[in-house]
Structure formats: C-alpha cells, structure tokens
Structure 1
C-alpha cells in the first residue's frame, strides 16, 4: 500500500498545460508530487478533501517589483493570498542586485525601497539573503539594466561607453553564472532612455550561452510602440535569445485601438524568433510620476509624494485645482512621487490578455502606501472577471497563462504543472466564487475563493489566512530554449 505525506482528494485538476479539467487525487511526498489519479488505496499522513474545487499549479507572477520585499517582508501576503507561489523580480531594468549605490536610488529604482533596502553588491549575496529570509513564495530574478548602469556610470543621461559596457557585462555574466534568469530593461525611463540600441545589444550578448532571456519595458508604449517593439525584436535576434515584452499595452487615448496592429507585429516576429509578452488585467498602469505622461485626457491618481505626502490618494487634477496650478506644474511640485494612470482601453486589454503568447503578471508596487489593486488582485481577477464572467477564455487556458506558460518561458524547472516529480506548488480555489476584492480606493484586500496554497508541499495559506509556514526558496535558472518550435507558438 502506497504512502504519502499529503493526499488531496476529490479535486478538479487543471494541470497548467491547457488540457481539459479532469477529476482525481494528488499525492505529495517530501515537497514533490508523487502520484496523480484515483489514489483511493493510498495511506496519507495528512488528507485534504478538495470537495470538487479546482486544484491547479501555484500561480507564477512573471512581472513583479518584490525584489527587496521578499527579504524585508517575507510573509508576502499580497501575493500568497491570491495563490501566487513564485515571483519573478528584477523587471523593468530595476533590480536589488547587483547594486552598489552612490547615494539615493535613482528613479525608478526607488520603487524598490530607500537606500537602506539595497544591501546586495553581488547577485550571490542577494540569493543567499532570499534563502536566509525564507519567504513564503519562491523567488527567481532578472538583472536590471538601469541597476547595472548606475553601478558603472557617473551620469545616466547618456549612452554607456565601451569600458562601462564591459563592466556591466562582467556583472551580468557573474549573475548569470549564479542562476539569474536574464536581463531586463526599462527603456522608457529617463535613467535608461539615453542608452543606445547598440548598448542593449552588447549587454544581451552573454545571455545566449547562459540560456537566459531578455525582457523589456519598451522604449515607448505610446505612439512609437511599433518602433520600440522592433528594437526589442532586433535585440533578441542579435543576441539569439528569447524576448519578452513586459506589460504589453497601448497607452494614451490617441493610442487606443492599436493592439490590432501591435499584435500583428508580435505574431510576425514570432514566425522568426521566440517572442512573448505579459500583461496585467487592468486598464490603469502605475509607476513613478512621469512628467511625459501628464495630461488632462485621463485620470491620474497620486499614490505617494515625498515632499507632499498628504496628497497621496488624490487625483492630480484635484491637486492642481487646489494649488491653482496647471497639472504639469503641480506634478513637478509633487516629485518624487508615484501615480496610477488610467491610460488604456478595455478592448485593448482584452486583446492582449487573450493572445496565446501572453502570460499574466501583476506589476504590483508593494512599497506604494496606496498601491494599484493589481498588487493584491491580478490573478483572481483573471479567473473571476475575465474567465468566469466575461468568458474571455476557458479555465484551462486561463490557468496555463498563469502557470505552465510562465514556467516554460522563464526556465523554472519542475514548476508550473501538476506532474509527477514536479514540486508541489499548488493552489486550491473555487472557480464559482474566486474574485478580486482590491479596488483603486481600497486596494489592500485579499481575494475571495482561494481555499488553500501549498509552496514546495507546505500548506502556506488556508481560508484567507497565512499559516505562518514559509517554504519559499531562491530558484536558479533552468535552460531556456532559444530555438523556434515547429508550431512557432509554444513560447
């Protein structure tokens, strides 16, 4: 008679591959899945009756800015509460390591915390700190281009020279040897915008031999988006590596409706190289307050302001009226600050979200005092609003976008699927009730319908409460394929 540590009975299994739902049991021993199917004869040390709820792989948040929070706030309740078992940090060109600050962290690295949060001059030091902190979720990491620039350059308003690029490449190569996933850029931000395409291509060159990936917050998500996408594709071709376009969107009222052309460009590129994207399920973005995005055509919510903290939670238009200033002048007075921009159309969000190359990422900002609700609600919103209510896709496809697709794209070995021998990162949820509760006015709310979450086989959350058992770990990169599959659509 077979024995196991944990047996989850009577589940509707959605395995992360996109395959149809099937009924069955899942057995776990020493943190790994050891059997799937009719396991009525097994003898478990612990049994959980799923009672017909859905059991899926734990969700993988491919786009986060949790770099320092996984260490400083290892309970990670905003993520664990929505069924996330793995976070990928280091996005948009900003990472906590390798970093040696010369003063305050430059924008947008300040999204990760104050100078005291940056304690990791090497990637190895960061990985060790993650394991020491033992967060409740697994952590895999990209290396940020802006972080490398500020390490090696005296000023960030120009392109790097050959010596500086060589120094950045050396730091990147060391991190890749230690298991970093690849390189990320945030070329829309002022402290990376001056970087030339040649600088990015040169930095991306070490990725191929390491089996890494290139992800990018495009140089523009506005009118010049197609040119920015072409730059990303050319970088991937030059370096012979997969490309991920971060939080793909058409931002700005004048840009609404252009996802038709944007996705055509994505599909054309996918015929020649490995390209994918991620997105979050909201029509508003959030970042630091960017003067280039200040307009009276959309609502802009100020989430924090260093010189004027009382303005957090107010619309920029309201602040400008109160101060009797144009919005641009009010924005200048508020800086440094953070903002939520209601800059996208619902139709465009749907087009991107349902595309087969799209994985789900929250892009949440955990250090904002009034964060965008995506920090707490992105994944349940996909399941509840877009899958169940709007029927944008079937449940297996929704889960695939949050698990198997993500694991394969980023080389997360033995994660993202319910398969024998894989790590038991699992989430049990009710597909009829799961939904996000976080709103723009009350964003820090845990979702409904998430019954239980296991990380590496350890019950980490149940009934909307953390168990206090933190079993996450640092994940080194597995090999990421850089050849185009026959179907030209598997990544």
Structure 2
C-alpha cells in the first residue's frame, strides 16, 4: 500500500449514518487510499487515534464567510470546530457580483466595504483559487446582491423586465463560473419588495442545472406557512432544490409550530427536492430591527456604528441608559447588529430530529461581538444534542454534518469515509468535545477537536491552525 499517513485504531463514523466501526484510514495525496482493517506498511507514518472518532470533515451548510475566506484564510473559527467546507452566499447576500463603495444593509454583514470589489462572480472565485483558504468553498449567489448590482439604491419596488433580464444574466454567468445555486433573503429591505414572479424570472437561470434555491423566508414568525409555500412554489417553477435556511419559529406565539412546518417539509419532499439547515441555539443574529426586538425575550447588541459603546450589551440596558424610545434607539445605534432570543429550545430539538436537517452555523464573522454559533455550533451539537440530551446518536449527528450535506448540495466524492474520496477528515474525542463560546464570551476555541485535515493536509492540531491553505472552490457534481 502507498500512503502518506495512516490513522490507526480509530472509531470510524463514516458519514452515512451507519453504526461506527473500528478501523484504520490511509491518506495518499489529497485522497483516502484505504478504509478498514489492514496491515500498515513499515515505512508509512502512523497516527494512533487511541479509539477516538474519525469522521469526514464537517460541512457548514450555512455561512456568511464569503469575505472572511479572503481576509482570514486560516479560517480558525471553522477548522477549530472540524469544519472543512463552507456554504457561502446565504440569505440573499453574497460578496459577488458587486463592486461598490457604499454597501447597504444587510450586505454589510459580510464585512467591510473594501471586500466588495468583484464585479463578476468569476472574479471572486478566481481570487479564492489564487489565494485559497484552509476550507473548501461551496458558493451560492445572493439575489439581494443581484438586486443591488442592477438596481442600485432603488430597490423598494419590483424589478422591471429589463432589470430582471440583467439579474438573470448575472446569475447565469455565476452558474457558469461554478455557483451551486442562488439564495434569497426577502426578509431584508433590499429584496422585500421583490414579488414571487420576479424571483422566478431571475432564477430561471437555474433550470436544467440541478441547482440549489436556498431561502431566508419572508417571514419566520406569524406568516411562516405562506412564506414556506412561496419558497416551494419557486423551487418547483425553476426546478431547483429548496433549502430552508436556519429553520426556526420566531416569537413566543409561534413556539411549538415546528410540528406544522416540519410536516410541510416532509410532505413536500415526496414530490420535490427539499431540505433545511439549523443551528442548535435558541437565538438568532442579524441587523438591528425593531420587529425582531419586539418579539424577542432578550436582545443583545453585537455592533453599532452609531453608538459603539452598546457592543456586547443588552438592548434594554442601553435603552434605559440613553432614555430613548425604540425608534430613537434605532436611529441612535444604526447601523447596528443584534442577537435575538426568540426561539423555543424544544422547537430547535424537534427540527434537529428531522432526517433532512443539516447543520449550519449562520455566523457573522466580522461582528465585534459575534453570536457564539460562529465558533461553537458543531461542538455544541456533539456535546449537548448527542452526549447530554440524546436527541441524536453520534452517527446521526455526524451524518447531518457530512454525508447528508454532501448529498443535498451535490458534492462529488466528499462527505463520507470512502476509498477514493477526498481526504477531508476530523479526529475528535466524543467524550470531551465541548463548545466554550458563550453569548457573553463568544470568541473561544472549542475543546475535543483534535486534528483536522482538508484535502489530505493538516489544518488544525487541536490547539491552533497549521497555516496551510489547501481549500478548494468546489463545483457541483454535475459539472465536477
């Protein structure tokens, strides 16, 4: 056997959902050379796993790392969790195609304005190939980004026929360059005025491509059902797989309705491709919005350009300090971001139990005081939902993080421990894995993620990133 490294004495959780088995994995170049029980050649380096879990590298199904990949290619927040691939361009916001100096909300959630320098999607992908990151990239195009690129500041209306054609051409070019599909964020002002028929017109470029339609719904609170129905309608019209992003039920009056929405997803899956992603926290994070403040049990400010002293503090405390009403508070802090505690933990658990649920962190990496999900999502699933609460078995949780995501996104030869597959691997201690990131102190490295390899090269040693950047811009299976 030829190999560069053999990891022996591991508990193999292969990403398929099958029961773990003990065995070895051999790596040669960027591929898995062998899996199972075999004799190790005497001249090949060996790493004894000591019975720890060896799994495929985790796929973060929902990120906003578009600009972070370029600014911080070590990708420490992700590789320290075992993540080896990230899906970018979610919630309708992608870094490209857009070159501008004045970046409107929510596009500014992706980072500083100087990152928005790519007039075409291909230019951004070329930059990622020229200066790769430690993780692989699964890119989506944002519909909001297309709107801003074509319509400028005049986004408070439906797009004209010519504007729809221009957006469709940008999307088609992005798909040719290697995008996996499109995302929408009609919850946000730049896209809220886009009617269903506009989205269908623009996304016609997806037809025939086995593409992804990922959506931050128009409403995740009282009107979530019609919002989900709209998404399913669009998916059927453009023949794309619908991904319900960060699926949640917002506000106390909607707690428990995950039974209803998950039944909708189960029924829809019988006639069209559909899946969802979720993170394990009862709080979400985005731009500061009063409609979210008013249905949240608690709001924490993550950043504020208008009043930087509010960063990391409770909205209610800052409001009392300044003596302002809600409207005046928004004006004083804006632009700003916030964390909103508005979900029921039981809904979160129920969503994770659904067989089509992938794991997505949805972190905002440039926030001065980020949501802890940016640093702790995957270890929290393994600690809390697997080890402590038993919501999922270890094999089921890792399946959602690996094989399921690879299948839903159409990744070729990734997401499973299989001979010939790419050597994206994570070695972890299932009894010790633990997220340390909290809402009060969110930037903290997790414990128990002992080694991570991307395309056969080490990117995390249990304490720090290696500095290697072997990540690739992935292509859909149909065009790989």
So what's the TM-score if we normalise by structure 1? 0.96
Contact 2:351 2:357 in 1 (8 A): yes
DSSP-derived class of the 1:205 partner: helix
Partners of 2:446 and 2:42 in 1: how far apart? 33
Aligned to 1:487: none
Aligned to 2:110: 112
* C-alpha displacement of 1:478: 1.9
* C-alpha displacement of 1:207: 1.1
* C-alpha displacement of 1:420: 0.7
Aligned to 1:13: 12
Cα deviations by residue, 1:166-201 (Å, 9 ceiling, x for unpaired): 000101111111110101000100111000000111
**Mapping of residues 57-456 of structure 1, within 5 Å:** 57-101=56-100, 103-154=101-152, 155-295=154-294, 298-456=297-455
DSSP-derived class of the 2:294 partner: coil
Cα deviations by residue, 1:43-97 (Å, 9 ceiling, x for unpaired): 4532111110000000000100000110111011000100000011000000011
Contact 1:289 1:331 in 2 (8 A): yes
Partners of 1:98 and 1:244 in 2: how far apart? 22
Moved more, 456-465 or 415-424: 456-465
Cα deviations by residue, 1:126-148 (Å, 9 ceiling, x for unpaired): 11111222211111200000000
Contact 2:171 2:203 in 1 (8 A): no
Contact 2:210 2:241 in 1 (8 A): no
Distance 1:44 1:208, change over 3 A: farther
Aligned to 1:467: 466
Contact 1:295 1:327 in 2 (8 A): no
Aligned to 2:54: 55
Contact 1:460 1:470 in 2 (8 A): yes
1:24 and 2:23 correspond: yes
* C-alpha displacement of 1:35: 0.7
Aligned to 1:486: none
Contact 1:16 1:56 in 2 (8 A): yes
Gaps of 5+ in 1: 481-491
Partners of 1:280 and 1:479 in 2: how far apart? 28
Aligned to 2:457: 458
RMSD between aligned alpha carbons? 1.2
* C-alpha displacement of 1:100: 2.5
Contact 1:281 1:378 in 2 (8 A): yes
